């Protein structure tokens, strides 16, 4: 009975959240079209993203921002929801651009907005085009650009961490910049991949210590970066390793209480 009574409230909230998102998304698009310079457009997008999270009752807490001190880096994070890009837009400084699957460039209005804020699109299915996109991303990284990747490339209905693609780590190894793992929590509950209605709730990002490439060849360095970053995210996330099966897919041990907070600081 209680769930039945709560259904109209949840539906009303979902309608409010969707309408709020649409109004603010159009505001962000207008700003991206009229503002000169990609940094100003990203700063405007950041303000709009923060406004949406606040209005939608999804307070954002970010820990470890000092690990993003001035200087080039590549942020890699777990991917749990369509909200992840918006949340990292709200959290990160304007010097970061996002590496996004090319299909998004064809989405009306969204593709235009993402291009205006300097997002990098990469092809996932056409090998030749994908290689050209990877070279372009690498050139931008070599020129000192800081990038954000979701190296799983997608997310699933099942909580847990998928395997990581190597693009982010090849780029970091060849550009000679550190990889900074990050963990996002709360977006799966706020906007579930199962298609459930959005709901309010706290969202958290933990920025983990940077990982530097080892002095090997680019291929060996990128593989080591990938494995070390994935392990760091897996341990901090506390969700199953979806590349395993059976008992090995249980979440790794995660500290609780004061010790957990100390390990994230």
DSSP per residue, the chain: -HHHHHHHHHHHHHHHHHHHHHHHHHHHHHHHHHSSSHHHHHHHHHHHHHHHHHHTT--EEEE-GGGG-SS--EEEE---STTHHHHHHHHS-TTEEEEEEGGGGGSTTHHHHHHHTTPEEE-SS-HHHHHHHHHHHHHHHHTT-EEEE-TT-S--SS-SB-PPPSHHHHHHHHHT--EEEEEEESHHHHS-TT-PPP----EEEEEPPPBPPPSS-HHHHHHHHHHHHHHHHHHHH---BTTS-GGGGSPPP---HHHHHHHH-
Q: Are 55 and 38 in contact (CB under 8 A)?
A: no
The domain tally of the chain equals 1
In tens, the pLDDT along 117-167 reads 988 888 766 666 667 777 777 777 766 678 999 999 888 888 999 999 988
Q: Looking at residue 110, which CATH number applies to its domain?
A: 3.40.1130
User: What integer is the mean pLDDT of 55-81?
Assistant: 92
pLDDT, residue 142, reads 63
pLDDT, residue 113, reads 93
In tens, the pLDDT along 77-118 reads 999 999 999 999 999 999 999 988 878 878 889 989 999 998
* Range among 3-12, 73-82, 122-131, 193-202 with highest mean pLDDT value: 73-82
Q: What is the DSSP string of 116-182?
A: HTTPEEE-SS-HHHHHHHHHHHHHHHHTT-EEEE-TT-S--SS-SB-PPPSHHHHHHHHHT--EEEE
Between 220 and 253, name the one with better pLDDT: 220
Which residue segment(s) compose the domain that 57 sits in?
2-264
- Checking if the pLDDT of 263 tops 70, the result is no
Strand arrangement, sheet containing 60-63? 60-63, 203-207, 179-185, 74-77, 146-149, 96-101, 120-122
- The structure's pTM equals 0.84
Backbone angles phi, psi at 120, to 5 degrees: -105, 125
Going by C-alpha positions, the residue among 75, 82, 76 that lies closest to residue 52 is: 82
Q: Are 198 and 20 in contact (CB under 8 A)?
A: no
pLDDT, residue 174, reads 83
Q: Are strands 120-122 and 96-101 parallel, antiparallel or unpaired?
A: parallel
When the pLDDT of each residue in the chain is averaged and rounded to a whole number, the result is 85
């Amino acid at each position: 009975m209680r769930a039945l009574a709560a259904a109209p409230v949840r539906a009303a909230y979902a309608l409010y959240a969707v309408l709020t998102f649409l109004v603010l998304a159009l505001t962000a698009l207008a700003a991206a079209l009229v503002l000169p310079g990609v940094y100003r457009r990203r700063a405007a997008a950041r303000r709009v993203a923060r406004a949406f999270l606040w209005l939608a009752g999804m307070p954002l807490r970010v820990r470890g921002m000092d690990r993003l001190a001035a200087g080039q880096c590549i942020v890699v994070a777990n991917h749990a929801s369509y909200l992840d890009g918006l949340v990292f837009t709200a959290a990160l400084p304007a010097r970061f651009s996002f590496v996004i699957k090319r299909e998004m460039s064809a989405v009306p209005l969204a593709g235009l907005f993402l291009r205006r804020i300097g997002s990098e699109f990469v092809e996932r299915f056409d090998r030749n085009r994908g290689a050209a996109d990877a070279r372009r991303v690498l050139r931008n990284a070599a020129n000192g650009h800081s990038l954000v990747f979701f190296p799983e490339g997608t997310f699933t209905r099942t909580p847990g961490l998928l395997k990581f693609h190597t693009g982010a780590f090849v780029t970091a190894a060849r550009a000679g910049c550190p990889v900074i793992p990050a963990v996002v929590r709360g977006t799966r509950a706020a906007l579930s991949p199962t298609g459930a209605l959005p709901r309010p709730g706290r969202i958290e990002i933990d920025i983990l210590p940077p990982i530097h490439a080892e002095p090997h060849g680019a291929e060996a360095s990128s593989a080591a970066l990938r494995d070390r970053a994935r392990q760091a995210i897996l341990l901090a996330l506390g969700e199953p390793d979806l590349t395993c099966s059976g008992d090995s897919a249980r979440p790794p041990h995660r500290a609780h209480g004061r010790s957990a907070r100390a390990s994230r600081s």
